Amino acid sequence: MLGFIVAVGSAIAVVALSAFLFRRFGAGSEDSDPGGPSVGHAGSMLSALFLLVFAIAIVVPWTTADSARQNTYTESQSAVEAYWAADELPGPAAAQVQAGLRDYVGFVVDQEWPLMADGRLSSEGATRLNTLRTQVAGLVVDGEDQEDAKAAVVDQISQLSSSRRQRAADAGATPPTILLVLTVVTGLIVLVFPFLAGARPKGMALLPMLAMAALLGVGIYMAFDIIHVFDGGLAVKPDAFTSALAEFGRISGLS
C-alpha cells in the first residue's frame, strides 16, 4: 500500500512541477477551454485507464470461474472412476464403498454447495473422504484383480481429495480489493470529469451523459456480482456432481 501511495503521489508531483515550470519560464499557452488539448488528453487517458481496470475486473473472475468449472468435472470424474473400480472389490466391501461415494457426492451437492457461495467448504466433506480412504486402505483382498481394484480406488480417492482442495481454493478466490476500488474510483472520475473540466451540459447534451452513467453503473455492478466463483452471475453449478450421481446409477445397473 505504501508503494501505491508513493507512486500516486509521485505522478501528481510530476504534473504539478511541470505546470509550475512551464508557467515560470513562459513556455506553452494558457488552456482553460473544456474542449482544449489538456482536457482532451486527460479525458482520453482516464477513459483508457477505466477500460483497462474494468477489463481486468471482468476477465480475472471469468477466467477463475472457467477454471473452477473444469475442476469440478475433474473431481466428479475421479468419483466416477473410484465407483467403477470399487465394483471389483470383494463382496459387501464393494457395496459399502460405492454407498460411501454416493453419500459423499450427494453431500457435496445438497449440503456443501450452498456454503461455497460464502467462500468456504464444510469440514465434514473432508472427514467423509478420509474415512472412506481409510476404509478402503484397510480392506483385506484376495487375488491380483482385487488388489488392483483396491489400489485403483485408493488412487482415485486421493485424486478426489486433491481436487477437493482445489475447489476450496477456487471458492475462496476473489479479485484483489484494490482492483475493485480502482474500478469504482475511475468510473466515478469518468462520470464527473466533464464537469470538473468546466463543461456545463444541459438539455439534450445531458442524455449521452445519463446513458453513460447508467451503463457504467451496470458494468460496475457486474464486476462486483461475479467476484465469487460459486455465487453471482458466473456461479459454477453442481452439474458435474449431479451427472456423477446419475452415472453411479447406470454403473449399478450394469453390475
Cα four-point dihedral sign 103, 245, 87, 70:
negative
Residue 99 cell numbers, joined: 454407498
pLDDT in tens, 95-147: 899 999 999 999 999 999 999 988 899 999 999 999 999 998 888 878 888 88
The model's pTM: 0.78
pLDDT in tens, 178-205: 888 888 888 888 888 777 767 677 777 7
Q: Cβ(57)–Cβ(179) under 8 Å? A: yes
pLDDT in tens, 138-152: 888 788 888 888 899
Number of residues assigned to the chain: 255
* Segments making up each domain of the chain, as ranges: 39-85+92-247
What whole-number distance in Å separates Cα of residue 109 and Cα of residue 75?
13
